[in-house]
Amino acid sequence: MGRGRERAYAYFLYPADRTLTETAHDRLQTIAANTDLGAGMAVAMKDLEIRGAGNLLGAEQSGHIEGVGFDLYIRMVGEAVADFRGEGGQERPAMTIDLPIDAHIPEAYIEHERLRLEAYRKMADAADGEALDAVAEELQDRYGNLPEPVENLLAVARLRCELRGTGITDVVAQGKLVRFSPVELPDSAALRVNRLYPGTLIKPAVRQILVPAPLTQRIGGKPVEGLPVLDWVREVVKATAVAPLG
């Protein structure tokens, strides 16, 4: 233990004839890379990523943070703290967009775990296109030109903002179909969707429509990926003429 000017040291030893697990190696590497004063938060966040966030609403202490993502997790914690302090605003519905597009922040672009987490959180908190433009400008100013995966991530965030006004909370690829929900279609809109997207399944009981995923060409085409998928989603939503469901 350190005293006054005396610096404390910690030595981690393991048998030379045993191979470290990937988790153990990641933990040791994290500790070695974060030795500055106040770096404990970075170590804690890396440990959170390795072992999972646990049950936020119960007593269990194990879980899978990949199920919600760091951005949603941090927003949930922030909202819980704000509610506890009496500062909570109107709660936004949870939204899931799971489409074939490479959208993430590469480690090569933002190396530090905490800073990547901060960027994800700002995108998740953005309420409109102007806020996302400000995030993009800040990222470019701090880290340089945006790589394609980050551009894609911002595009997905913009689509999320647009969908909030329609009441749709889920746009999820399911094999050869894409699920939109909740959606309630009048008869005229149902006929229009079936005409524009043959093979669409409409499920009024669960307020879902399953639309065939877009292909590069109708016969023998490959699945459309990347930014064109987001434009296709906008076209489908426009065709449904969905009114906000609240």
Q: How many domains does the chain have?
A: 2
Of 46, 67, 88, the residue at which a domain comes to its end is: 67
Q: Provide the residue count of the chain.
A: 246
Q: What confidence score (pLDDT) does residue 39 get?
A: 66
Would you say residue 161 lies in a domain?
no
Would you say residue 56 lies in a domain?
yes
Would you say residue 164 lies in a domain?
no
User: What number is the average pLDDT over the span 228-235?
Assistant: 92
Of 67, 97, 122, the residue at which a domain comes to its end is: 67
Alpha-carbon distance of 206 to 4, in angstroms, equals 66
Q: Which residue has the tokens 């480690």?
A: 107
Q: What confidence score (pLDDT) does residue 174 get?
A: 87
Would you say residue 126 lies in a domain?
no
Q: What confidence score (pLDDT) does residue 15 get?
A: 78
User: What number is the average pLDDT over the span 55-82?
Assistant: 51
Query: What range defines the domain where residue 44 resides?
Result: 1-67
Alpha-carbon distance of 232 to 58, in angstroms, equals 39
Higher pLDDT, 93 or 155: 155
Q: Per-residue pLDDT for 246 more than 50?
A: no
Q: Per-residue pLDDT for 151 more than 90?
A: yes
Higher pLDDT, 45 or 221: 221
User: What number is the average pLDDT over the span 219-243?
Assistant: 83
Quick one: tokens of 175? 């094999």
Higher pLDDT, 14 or 183: 183
CB-CB contact of 180 with 236 (8 Å)? yes
Single out the residue of 187, 209, 188 nearest to residue 200, CA to CA: 209
Would you say residue 45 lies in a domain?
yes
